[in-house]
Amino acid sequence: MQKILNGINSWAVLVTVIITVIAVPILIILINIFIGQSETWSHLVEHLLTGYLLNSLVLVVSVGTLSLLIGTACAWVINTYDFYGRRQLEWLLILPLAIPTYIMAFIYSGIFDFSGPVKTFFRNQFGVGLAFLDVQNLYGVIFIMTMVLFPYVYVSALTYFKNASGSLIEASRSLGSTPTRAFLKIVLPASRPALVAGVSLVLMEVLNDYGAVKYYGVNTFTTGIFRSWFSMGDLQAAVFLASMLMAFVFVLILLERWQRGKRRFDQGGRSTQPLLRYKLLGWKYVFALAICLIPLLLGFIIPLLQLVYWTWQTAYKVVDGEFWTLLGNSFLLAGISALVCVMAAILLLYGVRVAKSTRVENISKLSVLGYSIPGAVIAIGIMITLITVDRWWIDLMKYLTGEKVGFLLSGSLFALIFAYLVRYLVVGYNPIDAGFKRISTSLEEASLSLGRGRWVTLFRIDIPILKASILGGALMVFVDVLKELPLTLILRPFNYDTLATKAFQYASDEMVAESAPASLIIILIGLLPIFLLNKLIIKH
């Protein structure tokens, strides 16, 4: 019989290796906060940095505030009142999340274009030009971002209201409060952490965006990173901007943590019985309906109709052989990335389970880092990591064979998939983590006691039981990769296009209508995980 000394430690090593690979590109950026300046840098600081910072700040504050207002208001109405259409609106209000900010930007610029439906209508009917009505500015960005991102707050608030507010409201009503007063004085303060968590997701997306701000000509950190790299060819400046953006994000995360503090707010008691909803009639009904319907119309229905119309107009010339290649590229890339993320997540989670060490568990928590960091920052981190590795490779080959070889990893699909792994690992990780938590460790121990090893146990016991969670996680990564823009633009191999980059290119070339078919596919596939998420929320 074989003696296996410290057989368990190899899993700790595996977890550490995966985390290290994922953390290196991020840490490299972090280090660059403290070092390195370049020639264009002083130019950047003098003329542009203040503008970047200011625009990013204005966006964060205004989109955050507006999303908070709209999301909370919708969630409150849906949770507290009963009216015709409530059930449908409850899940319809999540749908704007399926539209990426950059696609929303194209659509609204098209709608308010000189030849777009709004201005044409006013011109023809009233002879008014409406020249002042222009969305291609900072206000336009604030508007379109709010309209697609408010559901983060809505979902977060609604989940909290549903779980905790029933008993809170009943308690305050039994103490003589009106429902409105109960909401303002009790529920709203108690739900603060949930609301802030929703807002912080909104802000991560705001800071991640490149397509919308670029399209509307608003300079932020992400456009600065692109300009430094693509226009000025100054990687060092791009890295520095990336590190500043990352610092910005970390400040937001710390603020969120800090406001949560030591208080625990979720002790509001789980109400198993749903709250008795107030039936709304008359003008109150119209008002409640308007609160929910306007964001839905502006955030989903109108943009979708416009896209469908454009697709109908342009499909015959856009959908050709090249389009199918595009579709193939996108699906292949998203599929491989989903597979890689899910595999990494499974190995990490299983490794932590097997290693049974708090230190390993803490290390594994670093895997969530990537999702809060903007795609452009990760792209830059991956780029400098791979360039370094490639230089070693070239030197090594020169030493070994005396010949000069080209880059191995930079500018390859590998770089792109690696970057998706860093950014979206946690998207696959969370549902699988939840799935693992439901598997009793005794199932794994039973398999061991039946003479099967750790790997067999993973493939024969854990993975089959986790099937649904794994598929869910893979689908979410798939969709996220499909709509990803800034990271893909920076790292894609030369002349390699995906649905997202092609749509962006069409729109940038003043061919917004032609970008519609690709955009429509991205949105329709993006709806899948939302329906999945929705099913989960309704269940709880």
Partner 1 sequence: MALLTLEGIGKTYDGSKVPAVNDVDLSIAKGDILSLLGESGCGKTTLLRLIAGFEKVNQGSITLDDLVVASSGTYISPEVRPVGMVFQDLALFPHLSIKKNILFGLNKLTKPEQLKRLEEVLALTGLSQFASRYPHELSGGQQQRAALARALARKPKLMLLDEPFSSLDDVLKSQVRSEVRRIIKNAGITAILVTHDINDAFAVADQIAVMRGGKVLQCGAPETLYTQPADAYVSRLFGKINLIPIEYDANRLMTAFGDVHIDSEGQDTSKKTLGIRPSKIKLSDQIEGTLRGLVSGVRYAGGYWSLEVKPEGQSQDEIMIELVDGVVPEIGERVSFYFETHHVYLF
Residues interacting with partner 1, by CB under 8 A?
A: 1-7, 357-358, 440, 442-443, 445-453, 460-461, 464-465
Closer residue to partner 1, CB minimum distance, 2 or 267: 2
Kind of pairing between the strands at 278-279 and 81-82: parallel
Q: How far is the CB of 452 from partner 1 (least distance, A)?
A: 6
Instruction: Report the nearest approach of partner 1 to the CB of residue 473 (Å).
Output: 18
CB neighbours of residue 358 within 10 Å: 9
Shortest separation between residue 282's beta carbon and partner 1, angstroms: 51
In this complex, which beta carbon is closest to partner 1, that of residue 9 or of residue 37? 9
Closer residue to partner 1 (CB): 176 or 464? 464
Q: Rounded to the nearest whole angstrom, what is the least distance from the CB of residue 357 to partner 1 in the complex?
A: 7
| Residue placing its CB nearer to partner 1 in the complex, 392 or 459 | 459
CB environment 221-242: b (16+ within 10 A), e (fewer): bbbbbbbbbeeeebebbbbbbb
* CA contacts within 13 A on the Cβ side of 56: 27
Smallest separation (angstroms) from partner 1 to the CB of 364? 17
Residue 159: helix, strand or coil by DSSP?
A: helix
Least spacing, CB of residue 74 vs partner 1, in Å = 39
CB atoms within 10 A of CB 332: 12
Rounded least distance, CB 11 to partner 1, Å: 12
Nearer to partner 1, 276 or 450 (CB): 450
- Complex with partner 1: residue 360 or 382, whichever CB lies closer: 360
CB of 529 to partner 1, least distance (A): 24
Q: Which CB sits closer to partner 1, 255 or 448?
A: 448
Minimum distance, C-beta of residue 351 to partner 1, in the bound complex (Å)? 16
376, 226 in Cβ contact below 8 A? Answer: yes
* Separation of alpha carbons 386 and 190, rounded Å: 47
Q: Residue 302: CB partners within 8 Å, gap ≥ 6?
A: 111
Give the helix ranges, DSSP H, for 319-406. 321-355, 358-364, 369-372, 375-401
Our CA dihedral for 137, 138, 139, 140, rounded to 10 degrees, sits at: 50
Closer Cβ to partner 1, 296 or 360, answer by number: 360
Q: Tokens 């370094």, residue?
A: 388
Query: What dihedral do alpha carbons 82, 85, 88, 94 form, nearest 10°?
Result: -80
Choose between 7 and 328: whose C-beta lies nearer to partner 1: 7
Report the residue number, 4 or 175, with the smaller CB distance to partner 1. 4
- 123/452 with CB nearer partner 1: 452
Task: Specify the 3-state DSSP secondary structure of 212.
Answer: helix
Which tokens in the block code for residue 322? Answer: 């090249």
Cα–Cα dist 338/421, whole Å: 8
Nearest to 381 by CA among 213, 241, 224, 208: 241
Contacts of 471 (CB under 8 A, 6+ apart): none
What is the distance between the terminal CA atoms of the chain, rounded to a whole angstrom?
50
CB closer to partner 1 out of 267 and 440: 440
Please state the closest distance from residue 92 (CB atom) to partner 1, in A: 35
Q: Please identify, using beta-carbon distances, which residue of 272 and 449 lies nearer to partner 1.
A: 449
Which amino acid would we find at residue 171? A
Least distance to partner 1, CB of residue 538, Å: 24
Burial of 123 (0-12, 13-18, 19+ CB in 10 A): middle
CB of 535 to partner 1, least distance (A): 21
Q: What are phi and psi of 456, to 5 degrees?
A: -60, -40
> Counting beta carbons within 10 angstroms of the beta carbon of residue 394, is it exposed (0 to 12), middle (13 to 18) or buried (19 or more)?
middle
Closer CB to partner 1, 27 or 465, in the complex: 465
Q: Whole-number minimum distance, CB 265 to partner 1, in Å?
A: 29
Residue 180 CA neighbour count, 13 Å, CB half = 0
Least CB distance to partner 1 at residue 306 (A): 46
Euclidean distance between CA atoms 92 and 301, whole angstroms: 10
CA distances (Å), 487 to each of 193, 268, 379, in order? 30, 41, 5
Selection from 539, 528, 540, 529 nearest residue 427 by Cα: 529
The conformation of residue 191, written as its DSSP 8-state character, comes to T
